[in-house]
Amino acid sequence: MRKLALALLAAGAALTLVGCTATADPQFAPPSGSPAEFPDWVREDFADEYSDLTLVSEGIAEAGDDLIYSARDNKDNVCVVVVVPPTDGGNGDDWFVSAGCGPTAIFAERGAMVSYGGGGRSGGAHLLPPGFDEPLEAGWSRVSPQLAIRN
């Protein structure tokens, strides 16, 4: 009986350790997003930094003309990438890319966030992990289950 109790205790401890050290890879791309590529006017040096691009702002009126993507960077961090298009009054070079990236474990807890600004345009995007139910900071609006924006 004592050997059985010790065996069960050892098995329980092993299972607990496995559960504590295993890390889940949370889904960082919302299921409603569309696999995507950057627009042609984004230079290759930006496009080469990111993989697994998913357009998460598709159909979200609050995003305006800004394109918001979930992605992974070259270090396998989870990123939210905002591409702000050229303005009608500009010469075509007034677009910009801003990104906020972090390790998968941090994304699983808090998501990935970026604030951006330039040329009179500013805002922010917060890619939320699945099941995120924390209150958002003042000025942020949740526009989908996995996306909040700040205008």
Residue 70 φ/ψ, nearest 5 degrees: -95, 150
pLDDT 10s digits, 94-139: 788 899 999 999 999 999 999 998 778 899 999 999 999 999 999 9
Residue 105 φ/ψ, nearest 5 degrees: -65, -40
Statement: residue 21 has pLDDT above 70: no
pTM passes above 0.85 = no
| Per-residue burial over 24-45, b = 16 or more CB atoms within 10 Å of its CB, e = otherwise | eebebbbeebeebebeeebeee
Q: Is residue 35 within 8 Å of residue 53, measured between CB atoms? A: yes
- The pLDDT value recorded for residue 19 is 34
pLDDT 10s digits, 41-89: 787 777 788 989 999 998 999 999 999 999 999 999 999 999 998 887 6
Q: Is residue 87 within 8 Å of residue 64, measured between CB atoms? A: no
Per-residue confidence band for 90, with pLDDT thresholds at 50, 70 and 90: low
Local structure of 7: helix, strand or coil: helix
More confident residue, 23 or 110: 110
